[in-house]
Amino acid sequence: MAFGRSSHRPRPVSPVTLKLLVAGGFGVGKTTLVGAVSEIRPLRTEETLSEAGRPVDDVDGVEGKTTTTVAMDFGRITLREDLVLYLFGTPGQDRFWFLWDELAQGALGAVVLADTRRLADSFAAVDYFERRGIPFTVAVNCFEGADRFPAGTVRAALDLDPEVPLMMCDARDRESVKEVLVAVVEHALNRATLRREPAVN
Amino acid sequence: MSDAGQDTQHWFDGEAGPVVRPYAMTRGRTSSTVRHRLDLIAVVVPEPAAEDPGRDQTLSPEHVEIVERCRDTPQSIAELAAGLDLPVGVVRVLVGDLVEDELVHVTRPVPPAELPDVNILREVINGLRAL
Ligand SMILES: Nc1nc2c(ncn2[C@@H]2O[C@H](COP(=O)(O)OP(=O)(O)OP(=O)(O)O)[C@@H](O)[C@H]2O)c(=O)[nH]1
Ligand SMILES: [Mg+2]
């Protein structure tokens, strides 16, 4: 620290910034997951289902759910003063897909949150990241009362490539969410390493 | 910009919802004169010239607030929007003004594929584990 060099304050450090996306179907736990690990409270720009005028939303399996996210969840994880990871939780409804293209650009990786009671809700997100070559991990949010399926069954249902990590998680639990994020970055690291050092044979 | 900041109504994110409020704070401008679109995780760093932005009469309270917030810890566009409760589009325009006035500069995020080395990803992993 170079105090006393001049009357000016030291120049602030401009951090390296990276982002991870958290995607998944309606009510799967995206907001909960971002809130479990990040410094900033999620940006809660939400509206009630009735205001949105979408009576067709299937909320089965999401007890007491009355609001839906309009904007996005946003969290900051300060890893070091000069290294910051941002989380963006993207709305699960199809009408918000237009938000994704900007978010996906330059993303380090993504988490696709899945609920075994509504696995089909994850298809769109899996498809999206596959097509764009964004490293992603599927995290099954284990709600109470939902049947547990072997990972292989979920993997088959989602038709995942063998290299895509699949794990069980509890979106409310900080340690569990940390493991999910580590898995995404490890997956991104493996990809980057392969790309930079092609096998010599 | 002197008439900005009087709208205390809640702003919905104009980019996310069906409700698009007039961008009064930016005098109707929806894209800034800074040529490239500021990335959500681009970081705003005050210039030394911005030591006392409150004295600049052409700046709105929101402009000043952005400079103040970034002074000790530079913040991303998304962070500013979340913190100020403003739509991302509005923050982009305001930051664009500040760049034009040379009161801040914006560092563009390095796309992961262009990171100089993958060790930064190992540091991210270690940092996450240590949280
Ligand atoms: N039992 C249990 N409940 C959870 C878990 N994760 C989230 N919930 C609850 O499920 C409901 C929906 O969670 P949210 O985090 O709001 O889901 P979301 O994906 O952000 O929802 P939308 O943004 O509306 O798509 C909330 O009432 C949570 O408290 C979990 O792991 N276990
Ligand atoms: Mg949510």
Identity of the residue numbered A118: R
Residue A1 within any structural domain of the chain: no
pLDDT for res A17: 95
Q: Are strands A83-89 and A16-24 parallel, antiparallel or unpaired?
A: parallel
Kindly report the pTM of this predicted structure: 0.80
* Tokens linked to A166: 């699949």
Q: Kindly state the helix (H) or strand (E) to which residue A136 belongs, with its residue range.
A: strand A136-141
Residue A88 within any structural domain of the chain: yes
Residue A85 within any structural domain of the chain: yes
Separation between Cα atoms, residue A71 and residue B91, nearest integer Å: 15
| Domain hosting residue A98, numbered range | 16-199
Secondary structure E strands in B1-131: 43-46, 75-76, 104-107
Residue A101 within any structural domain of the chain: yes
Residue A31 within any structural domain of the chain: yes
Cβ–Cβ < 8 Å for B49, B59: no
Q: Could you tell me which of B87, B106, B111 has the C-alpha nearest to residue B31?
A: B87
Q: Do B82 and A74 touch (CB under 8 A)?
A: yes
CA distances for A17 relative to A88, A127, A196, B71, B128, angstroms: 13, 26, 21, 17, 14
* Tokens linked to B15: 């980019």
Instruction: Tell me the average pLDDT across B101-123.
Output: 89
What 3-state DSSP class applies to B44? strand
Handedness of CA A64, A21, A143, A150 (dihedral sign): positive
Residue A89 within any structural domain of the chain: yes
Cβ(A143) – ligand 1 distance below 6 Å = yes
Q: How many domains does the structure of chain A reveal? A: 1
Separation between Cα atoms, residue A150 and residue A130, nearest integer Å: 23
Strand partners, B126: none
Which protein residues have a CB closer than 5 Å to ligand 2 (ion)?
A 30-31, 69
- A191 to chain B, any CB pair closer than 8 A? The answer is no
Task: Quote the percentage of chain B above a pLDDT of 90.
Answer: 41
Residue A188 within any structural domain of the chain: yes
CATH number at residue A71: 3.40.50.300
pLDDT for res A56: 39
The whole-angstrom distance between A150's CA and the closest CA on chain B is: 26
Rg (CA), chain A: 19
Residue A75 within any structural domain of the chain: yes
Separation between Cα atoms, residue A35 and residue A171, nearest integer Å: 9
Residue B128 has pLDDT above 50, yes or no: yes
A75: nearest CA partner in chain B? B79
Alpha helices in chain A (DSSP H): 30-37, 49-52, 98-104, 123-132, 151-158, 174-196
The whole-angstrom distance between B58's CA and the closest CA on chain A is: 24
pLDDT in tens, chain A (201 residues): 444 344 456 677 789 999 999 999 889 999 999 999 997 655 544 333 443 444 334 444 554 555 444 568 899 999 998 999 999 987 656 666 666 777 888 999 999 999 999 999 899 899 999 999 999 999 999 888 777 888 899 999 999 999 999 999 999 999 999 999 999 999 999 998 887 776 555
Closest ligand 1 atom, residue A170 Cα: 31
Cβ(A35) – ligand 1 distance below 6 Å = no
Global ipTM: 0.79
Q: Which residues of A touch B79 (CB under 8 A)?
A: 40, 74, 76, 86
